[in-house]
Amino acid sequence: MRAPLPHGQGSERRALARGTGNLALALLAAHVVYAQLVPADVALARADKNSQIAHQQLLAKKTQGRIDIYFEGDSITRRWGASDYPRLLESWRQNFTGWNAADFGWGADRIENILWRLENGELDGVHPKIVVLLAGTNNIGNRIPPEGPEAVVDNVTRGIAALVHVIQEKAPDAVIVLTAIFPRNDDMAVMPEIDRINADLAKMTADRHIRFLNINEKLADSTGSLHEGMMNPDKLHPALPGYQVWADALKPVFREILGPPASEDHAPPPTGDPSATARP
């Protein structure tokens, strides 16, 4: 069974192809890596040059301002606060200015890639009061692998538990807002996997420093079919209304922990995809 490339590519995918010098080779390399169930709880660096540059940018970003809210994840997280998505960045600023929120997501990252970034300095010395984490959809993909859905559920759950563990090590005083993996409709066959993983994540709230946030009933109906306008045509990246649903669920938590937003914001300036041009 041919495994899909992870989502969140856009220019990130093109940069990967340029890094290998040949698009066909890049696609083949992705097939070899993602055709098997890669352990999500073992840190793994991205090999493409674009991701390596982005890592250096994020290492610099953490030193450039005050960060009270640290967003971590893949492209779903990244696009919201990225300089190359100006309309989404406007939404970010309208919702979070005054809370010193910074976006450390990176496109196409799987859990093991995020784990590597956290283990290699991106959270060191930051001391946020809140960490918002959304990860795992790239490990699920849009097809059930040969190992079967049970293996995917176990792998993703263990990987996210590893992310939570390293966040707690690096930022022990932070409240982790563990966000349920969003519905994806590029293949409805994976929705039962997503639901089971989210049920596992909900059990992590026995730790008082973890809040589980599930907005999926506002993004999709009871069958997992997305509500009109919540996602882009790719059926997995939120459109502006989808991001607003997420913001509306996050802001009461932020107010509870941080109080109302201040009149000034001291977060680092946004970064973007090093290879990208601005998108609408």
Quote the pLDDT of residue 278: 66
Percent of the chain exceeding pLDDT 90 equals 84
Closest CA to 38 of 72, 74, 3: 3
Asked whether the predicted pLDDT for residue 4 surpasses 50, the reply is no
CB 129 within 8 A of CB 77: no
CB 107 within 8 A of CB 37: no
Mean pLDDT of 213-225: 97
Per-residue pLDDT band at 36 (split at 50, 70, 90)? low
Per-residue pLDDT band at 206 (split at 50, 70, 90)? confident
How big is the CA angle at 61 (ends 59 and 63), to the nearest 5 degrees?
Answer: 85
Quote the pLDDT of residue 154: 98
Q: Residue 42's CB: how many other CB atoms inside 10 A?
A: 13
Mean pLDDT of 195-217: 95
For the chain, how far is it from start to end, CA to CA, in angstroms? 35
Per-residue pLDDT band at 88 (split at 50, 70, 90)? very high
Quote the pLDDT of residue 151: 97
CB 73 within 8 A of CB 137: no
Asked whether the predicted pLDDT for residue 25 surpasses 60, the reply is no
> How far apart (Å, rounded) are the C-alpha atoms in residues 254 and 130?
8
Strands 130-134 and 101-103: unpaired
Asked whether the predicted pLDDT for residue 123 surpasses 50, the reply is yes
pTM tops 0.85, yes or no: yes
Asked whether the predicted pLDDT for residue 279 surpasses 90, the reply is no
**Topology of the domain comprising 37-258:** Rossmann fold (3.40.50)
Asked whether the predicted pLDDT for residue 32 surpasses 60, the reply is no
CB-based contacts of 131: which residues, under 8 Å, 6+ apart? 69, 70, 71, 72, 167, 171, 174, 175, 176, 177
Give residue 240's Cα distance to chain centre: 16
H-type alpha helices, 44-130: 49-61, 75-80, 86-96, 111-117
Q: Where are the domains of the chain?
A: 37-258
Q: pLDDT by residue (tens digit) across 222-274?
A: 999 999 999 999 999 999 999 999 999 999 999 999 999 999 999 999 999 99
Q: pLDDT by residue (tens digit) across 100-122?
A: 999 999 999 999 999 999 999 99
Asked whether the predicted pLDDT for residue 53 surpasses 60, the reply is yes
